[in-house]
Amino acid sequence: MRFLKEKKLTYHLLEKTQSILKARLEIEKDAFIQIYVNAKKNKRSYTLIINNQRTFSKDCIYGTWHMHPFQKPHYHDTSGRT
């Protein structure tokens, strides 16, 4: 928690409707976490972007989670391991 107290994090609200929320949490100049929630479609996504590249992601689509691991960020790991 010390990191959060020492550094001011900035967020940007990219989209907000009755069922959708899309926001970006700035970590560093070229690193952010993008958060996407669609309540109507039961979709959630938490993605770490570094230098405009997806580095890691956890997604839930229609109640089923999958991961894009650090080692293979374009791969869909549906094994259920976190």
pLDDT digits (tens, 9 = 90+) for 8-56: 778 999 999 999 999 999 998 899 999 999 999 999 999 999 999 989 9
Q: Are 24 and 32 in contact (CB under 8 A)?
A: yes
Q: What is the pLDDT of residue 18?
A: 96
Q: What is the pLDDT of residue 39?
A: 93
39 DSSP assignment: T
Bridge partners of residue 37, in order along the sequence: 21, 44
pLDDT for res 53: 92
Q: Is the pLDDT of residue 70 over 70?
A: yes
pLDDT of the residue at 1: 42
